Structure 1
Amino acid sequence: MTAVAMPSTAAPPAAKASDTNWVWSLGPFVVMCVGMFIALLDIQIVASSLQDIGGGLSAAQDQISWVQTAYLIAEIVMIPLSGWLTRVFSTRWLFTASSAGFTIASMLCGLAWNIESMIVFRALQGMLGASMIPIVFTSTFHYFQGPRRVYSAAVVGAIASVAPTLGPVIGGFITDTLDWRWLFYANVAPGIAISILVPLLVKIDEPDLSLLKGADYPGIILLAMTLGTLEYVLEEGSRWNWFDDATIRDCAMIAVIAGFLFVVRSLTFPRPVVDLRALGNRNFSLGCILSFITGIGIFSTIYLTPLFLGYVRGFSAWQTGMAVFSTGMASLVGVPVYVMLAKRFDTRWLMMIGLASFGLSMWSFSFITHEWGAAELFLPQILRGFPQVFAVAPSVNLGLGSLPPERLKYASGLFNMMRNLGGAVGIAVCGAVLNNRTNFHFHALASNLTPANGAMTRLVNEVAQRYAAIPGSQQAGYQAALKQLWALTYREASTMAYADAFLAIMVCFIFATMLVPFLRNVGPAKVPAQAAPLRLVFA
């Protein structure tokens, strides 16, 4: 499908009217961006506070991760349905309902009385707030035309990359300053404001309730079964030794069968809820792959870094937030730089630079030691944070911008789902890498801890000598020495496993960088100042 520029029949004064219209578009666009920011922020706002939440709800260690996972599963299931829901209820009322539901669910999360209620309310929060994300992506193509799409894409790309990054920082500050329950109460005021302003400001399309009749309800059920069971397998597989567990096997089988039936249904049903046919567009399909990989990078590193700082370094929520603060600041600095460069250079080159820089950052993370803190993490996080908008923003124009307007709503849900699905897959794989490689490195290190190892012998003797003055404590001294030796070995093995996980992410970004040249350039055409505006006709 090619886009042909055709001169409009409108008179030159229409250009001035267009210039005025986009100014009026800023209000609703900004309000919707705030909603998208909050929805993305809440994925990771609990990342540095999971121990506090678990302690407050008397949760077991293996239950705490579901505070994040429940949100992700519900969000991933709902995002691809947002295109169909927008057509049914309109952009205005779907966004309003999504914001209001998210606000109510946030209040319920703050009022949670045990871990089970928290998991249910977090799932509601993710499900009800999910539609805000793809709606903002498609709205940029309605509100902004021509070169101004570079700015709007940069803003949306920045939010998509910065919000999850700032989550642990803001969450750590709130938890240490107030209480972990305020992680959720803080959403109430902006949520109410958005729910009031969107009906007043947003006027893009009209609802079409007739679409509820004859909709692809079997496809919706198959999609929910596929994504829900897949996310469960990814999250719980490592904990239960993957396919050795009957539940994991059953869920994997359901995911595969339901996924196959969903693909067949979507390609044969005349009005599918997800436009899989859009994947026939090369730019869109490559954009989805790149969105998936950037999701792996953004969400996995946000998962790994606080985990390392909390369990290896023993940092508090606030210390963890401050240690990863440089990533968010670098991301914000990268936005105006990207906008400036995008006006002068092919955005495909900028995207290659962003993806390559992210991969370079993962390589620098692989030198991690147990002593790393904020100072040591500073440069790797700058390398990771600054180019995030370079990696995300171009995919909006190059991927979604290559589709005709009537397909954007359905395709945007799939596009955004790929980023969050990449995050879910990345977190699950990184968890498996940490588990398996920690055991591998521990056994490798332990095999060298023999009497022939002088450093080990000296450590055991020094600890044992501390107990020598106490009668009958020689055996206790050796036991204490062995416990300390085990702790040191496990710490080093765990640190080496983190390095392996970062290297695995690096490989993904090397692959992503090599894909970029296959994208076609579909940058917005510039409107001449003294001529009639151009309109795009898709043929």
Structure 2
Amino acid sequence: MSPRRVIAFLVMVFGMFMAILDIQIVSASLAEIQAGLAASPDEISWVQTSYLIAEVVMIPLSGFLARMMSTRYLFAASAAGFTIASFLCATSTTIEEMILWRALQGFLGGGMIPSVFAAAFTIFPPSRRNVVSPMIGLIATLAPTIGPTVGGYLSHALSWHWLFLVNVAPGILVTLGAFFLIDFDRPHWKLFERFDWWGLVALAAFLGGLEYVLEEGPGNDWLADPHVALFTAITLVGCVVSFWRALTREEPIVDLSAFTDMNFALGSAFSFVLGIGLYGLTYLYPLYLAQIRGFDSLMIGETVFVSGLAMFFSAPLAGFLAGRMDLRLMLLIGFVGFALSTWMLTGMTADWDFNELVVPQVLRGMSLMLCMVPVNNLALGTLPRDKMKGGSGLYNLMRNLGGAVGLAVINTMLSDRADLHYDRLREAITWTNAEALRQLNLMAGNLSAHGLDGQLGAISQMAGRVRQQAVVMSFIDVFLLLSLLFGGLALAALLMRPPAKAVGGGGH
């Protein structure tokens, strides 16, 4: 390995970090952006949704584009466009402008992510994979985890504009580094003549529509909402046409043949599940701290940063273990650890904060790294070189889709289970319940001492307590479901086969 290629790869890794970080960097600062752009509550969610929809379309498309343009031109163009879109986001004056530039930012950012995974498993020999795989695994898991923390600090210390301006200087350096250093492959421009434009339209309808349905469905009663119903129909049509074009075209824009490799198929399924755990808990921790504990964005960032630290310090351990133990056993340990970390949260109360959450977060961060490294190696380590670019796009797509499906299920479950628990708790609090009457009298006496209507105020406070407890119980239900999911899949890791030691690496 020449120093030039190592530096080029590090430049690509940093570009991928920027692209993945920007998925979540706005999540803790949406209120500030909403105020700055005078946006409505329904509109502001599209600052994140537009990015996700555009990114999820580009990720599988990037395999074809990398073969046509080469890694060098695709990555440099994506980094340059991402940097420009970031600057335009910061200068937006209306919510419509912000949504447009965020979509462009997500689309171009999606072109950088799979290229890094493909490069890691083609330019490095197998003996170096236990170094590079933890590196890309760390970035893929750390970036979305610390996104809310970084965003919270930037918007709190400076302004929401710096959520995007922070990308400009590094983006320029990444663009220049990619253009002048990457030399892994050569472009094949004749592929442009066989570009499947209808396949692209179908792919955008399928994945873009699916992302919209999963984002908007939980809050709009799913198919009862006409827009969700319309996009569900668009998704189904796009799905059928996308698969038909992919299976019948000589040169499809999304090559599905990588799924004929059993390791890749199982690894993609594990990547889907890891997406549920990664993005699901990155969403659940801040949501609990905001709704139940009343933390602001800065306090939330300081609390959830523990997971990121655990990932950072456990990455070298994951690389060390990957070279010295069966990857399948390592994956099993990671899944069991993740299941245990969510099982510990099933004892949650409305009083939990940093001290109670620190151990589950540390265990979650370590387990994610123990999962990500072997999944990367097992899924991509057995793919032939000519399938690597397309396979990398599909592998990363599965992780993002897992996150989208997981968030949709989590949001739906939180809403439905909170209503169910509230009804059950309300039925138990009657005028014959001695403990409920005791607490009502205490609250009424306290309010009356301050010159307020004690009886009415006490009933209102009791209703608030019941609602809060119902919400906490719905969180517990979600954590229990995640524990069962990861615990149940742990044994499936043994179905994979170790990658051959001589596969790939060091190609020109």
TM-score, scaled to structure 1: 0.90
Deviation string for 1:268-294 (max 9, x for gaps)? 111111111221110111011000000
Partner of 1:529: none
> Distance between the aligned counterparts of 1:479 and 1:114, measured in 2?
44
Deviation string for 1:200-236 (max 9, x for gaps)? 1111122222211122221111111011111111111
Letter in 2 for 1:127: F
Query: Does 2:195 align with 1:221?
Result: no
> Distance between the aligned counterparts of 1:494 and 1:292, measured in 2?
27
Task: Pick the aligned partner of 1:336 from 316, 323, 330.
Answer: 316
Q: Is the 8 A contact 1:99 1:132 kept in 2?
A: yes
Q: How does 1:108-187 map to 2 (within 5 A)?
A: 108-187=88-167
> Distance between the aligned counterparts of 1:506 and 1:463, measured in 2?
38
Partner of 1:18: none
> Distance between the aligned counterparts of 1:72 and 1:468, measured in 2?
51
Deviation string for 1:32-88 (max 9, x for gaps)? 100001111111112222233333333333433322222111111110000111122
Partner of 1:4: none
Equivalent residue of 1:24, what SS? helix
Q: Is the 8 A contact 1:397 1:523 kept in 2?
A: no
Partner of 2:68: 88
Partner of 1:269: 249
Structural RMSD (CA): 2.0
Q: Is the 8 A contact 2:126 2:505 kept in 1?
A: no
Task: Pick the aligned partner of 1:485 from 462, 470, 482.
Answer: 462
User: Given the superposition, is the C-alpha separation of residues 535 and 413 from structure 1 closer, same or farther in structure 2, using an over 3 Å criterion?
Assistant: closer
Query: Does 2:384 align with 1:404?
Result: yes
User: Given the superposition, is the C-alpha separation of residues 379 and 470 from structure 1 closer, same or farther in structure 2, using an over 3 Å criterion?
Assistant: closer
What is the CA-CA distance between 1:469 and the residue it aligns to?
7.2
Deviation string for 1:420-462 (max 9, x for gaps)? 1111111111111111111111111111121112333234334
Task: Pick the aligned partner of 1:515 from 477, 492, 496.
Answer: 492
Q: Is the 8 A contact 2:314 2:366 kept in 1?
A: yes
Q: Is the 8 A contact 1:286 1:519 kept in 2?
A: yes
> Distance between the aligned counterparts of 1:173 and 1:326, measured in 2?
15
Partner of 1:8: none
Q: How does 1:527-538 map to 2 (within 5 A)?
A: none
Partner of 1:386: 366
User: Given the superposition, is the C-alpha separation of residues 495 and 61 from structure 1 closer, same or farther in structure 2, using an over 3 Å criterion?
Assistant: farther
Partner of 2:49: 69
Equivalent residue of 2:252, what SS? coil
> Distance between the aligned counterparts of 1:365 and 1:387, measured in 2?
15
The 10-residue stretch of structure 1 (277-286 or 516-525) with the greater mean CA deviation from structure 2: 516-525
Partner of 1:10: none
Q: Is the 8 A contact 1:306 1:320 kept in 2?
A: yes
What is the CA-CA distance between 1:479 and the residue it aligns to?
2.7
Letter in 1 for 2:462: L
Q: Is the 8 A contact 1:292 1:420 kept in 2?
A: yes
Partner of 2:432: 452
Letter in 2 for 1:508: L
Letter in 1 for 2:134: A
What is the CA-CA distance between 1:143 and the residue it aligns to?
2.3
Equivalent residue of 2:121, what SS? helix
Q: Is the 8 A contact 1:22 1:143 kept in 2?
A: no
Q: Is the 8 A contact 2:120 2:132 kept in 1?
A: yes
Task: Pick the aligned partner of 1:288 from 268, 272, 276.
Answer: 268
Letter in 1 for 2:37: L
User: Given the superposition, is the C-alpha separation of residues 430 and 447 from structure 1 closer, same or farther in structure 2, using an over 3 Å criterion?
Assistant: same
User: Given the superposition, is the C-alpha separation of residues 454 and 522 from structure 1 closer, same or farther in structure 2, using an over 3 Å criterion?
Assistant: same
What is the CA-CA distance between 1:99 and the residue it aligns to?
0.7
> Distance between the aligned counterparts of 2:505 and 2:401, measured in 1?
35
TM-score, scaled to structure 2: 0.95
Aligned length: 507
User: Given the superposition, is the C-alpha separation of residues 267 and 369 from structure 1 closer, same or farther in structure 2, using an over 3 Å criterion?
Assistant: same
What is the CA-CA distance between 1:507 and the residue it aligns to?
2.5
> Distance between the aligned counterparts of 1:535 and 1:365, measured in 2?
42
What is the CA-CA distance between 1:257 and the residue it aligns to?
2.4
Q: Is the 8 A contact 1:158 1:332 kept in 2?
A: yes
Q: Is the 8 A contact 2:322 2:373 kept in 1?
A: no
> Distance between the aligned counterparts of 2:217 and 2:39, measured in 1?
20
For structure 1, the residue ranges without an aligned partner over 5 or more in a row are: 1-20, 527-533
Q: Is the 8 A contact 2:122 2:506 kept in 1?
A: no
User: Given the superposition, is the C-alpha separation of residues 507 and 57 from structure 1 closer, same or farther in structure 2, using an over 3 Å criterion?
Assistant: farther
Q: Is the 8 A contact 1:47 1:306 kept in 2?
A: no
User: Given the superposition, is the C-alpha separation of residues 477 and 265 from structure 1 closer, same or farther in structure 2, using an over 3 Å criterion?
Assistant: same
Q: Is the 8 A contact 1:112 1:118 kept in 2?
A: yes
Partner of 2:218: 238
User: Given the superposition, is the C-alpha separation of residues 279 and 57 from structure 1 closer, same or farther in structure 2, using an over 3 Å criterion?
Assistant: same
Query: Does 2:57 align with 1:101?
Result: no
Q: Is the 8 A contact 1:22 1:144 kept in 2?
A: no
User: Given the superposition, is the C-alpha separation of residues 307 and 409 from structure 1 closer, same or farther in structure 2, using an over 3 Å criterion?
Assistant: same
Query: Does 2:342 align with 1:365?
Result: no
Partner of 2:234: 254
> Which structure: larger Rg?
1
For structure 2, the residue ranges without an aligned partner over 5 or more in a row are: none
Q: Is the 8 A contact 2:54 2:106 kept in 1?
A: yes
> Distance between the aligned counterparts of 1:436 and 1:468, measured in 2?
36
> Distance between the aligned counterparts of 2:133 and 2:253, measured in 1?
25
Partner of 1:303: 283
